[in-house]
Amino acid sequence: MPFWATYVFLYLPIVVLVLMSFNSGKSVYTYEGFSLKWYGELAGDERIREGLVNTLIVAAGSTVIATVLGTLLAVGLARHTRSKLLDALALMPAVLPDLVLAIGLLVFYGMIQMTLGLHSVILAHGLFSMAFVAAVVRTRLTNADTSLEEASRDLGAGPVSTFMRITLPQLLPGIVAGALLAFTLSLDEFVIAFFTVGNSDQTLPIVIYSMIRFGVTPKINALAAILLLVSFTAVIAGQRLTKIGETRAQD
C-alpha cells in the first residue's frame, strides 16, 4: 500500500499538469475541453524559443568542457596520485550547495570585471558537471583491469599514448554516461544560471521561473508536457545506451 502511494505522490502532479495542458479554457484550474491551442501559443513564443536555444548552447558547451576535463581528471586521480585532498577537491563542486557555487562565481566574475553572458554560465556549468563526469568515469576506472595499461607502459608507451590506445576505449561507456549526465544536469540547472547569466541571454529555466512568477497559464503546462516527454525519452535512451555500452565493454 505505501509502495503505490509513493508512486501516486510522485506522478499525480505530473499527470494533472499534462492533462491541463490540453485545456481549451484560459484557466489552468478548470478543465473545459480538449484543445492544442496552448501548444500553438508555445510554438509562437519567441522568448521560450530563444531560451531553449540558449539552454542547448550552454548544455553543449559545458558538456564538452566537463567531459574532457572530467575524464582527464578521473584518470589522473585514479592512476597518478593518491592524494585524498585532490579527491575531495574534485568532488567539491558536486557536493557544495548550488547557491554557494552560484554566489562564489558571481563574486568572482564581478571582481575580474567579466561581462556576463552565456559563456559565464557555460564555465559555471562546466564546473559542477566536471565533478559528476569525473565521479562516473572514476567508478569505471576502479573496476577496470589495469594489467593492459601496465603492459602498455612496460612496452614503452608514454602515458598519453597509453591513455589514448588502452584506457580511453575501456572508459568509453563511462564517459558517454558521464556526458549524458552532464548534459541533462545543465539543461535543468536554474540556480547557478540565474546568478551567472548575462542580462541579454536567458536560459529556459530562467524563462520558466519568470513566467511562473508572473502567474500560472496553460502555456507553462504545455511547455512542461514537452519537457517531460524530452526528459523521459532522454533518461530511457540513456539507460539503454549505458546498458549497450556495458555489454559491449564486457565482450
Number of residues lying near another protein (CB under 8 A): 105
* Closest CB 241 distance from another protein, rounded Å: 14
> Does residue 237 belong to the site contacting another protein (CB under 8 A)?
no
- Judged by CB under 8 A, the stretch of 56-64, 135-143, 171-179, 226-234 that binds another protein is 226-234
With binding defined as CB under 8 A, does residue 222 bind another protein? no
Least distance to another protein from the beta carbon of 115, Å?
Answer: 5
Residues 100-119 that bind another protein (CB under 8 A): 100-101, 103-117
Backbone phi, then psi, for 80, in 5-degree steps? -120, 0
| Residue list 63-92, contact with another protein (CB under 8 A) | 65, 68-70, 72-73, 75-77, 79-83, 85-86, 89-90, 92
Binding mask 119-148 for another protein (x = CB under 8 A): ----xx-xx--x---x--------------
Tell me how far apart the alpha carbons of residues 7 and 15 are, in angstroms, rounded to a whole number.
Answer: 12
98 scored as a contact of another protein (CB under 8 A): yes
Contact between 117 and 200 under an 8 Å Cβ cutoff? The reply is: yes
**117: nearest Cα among 1, 201, 33:** 201
Q: Residue 153 interacts with another protein (CB under 8 A)?
A: yes
**Candidate residues 53, 57, 64, 96; the one interacting with another protein per rule CB under 8 A:** 96
Whether the CB-CB separation of 170 and 205 falls below 8 Å is answered with no
Query: What cell was used for 204?
Result: 529556459
Nearest to 118 by CA among 60, 70, 184: 60
Site string for another protein, 40-59 (x = CB under 8 A): -------x------------
> Cα–chain-centroid distance for residue 55?
11
Q: Rounded CA gap, 108 and 120, in Å?
A: 11
Cell numbers describing residue 79: 592512476
Choosing from 60, 99, 237, 244, the residue that interacts with another protein (CB under 8 A) is: 99
Closest by alpha carbon to 216, among 52, 45, 43, 29?
A: 29
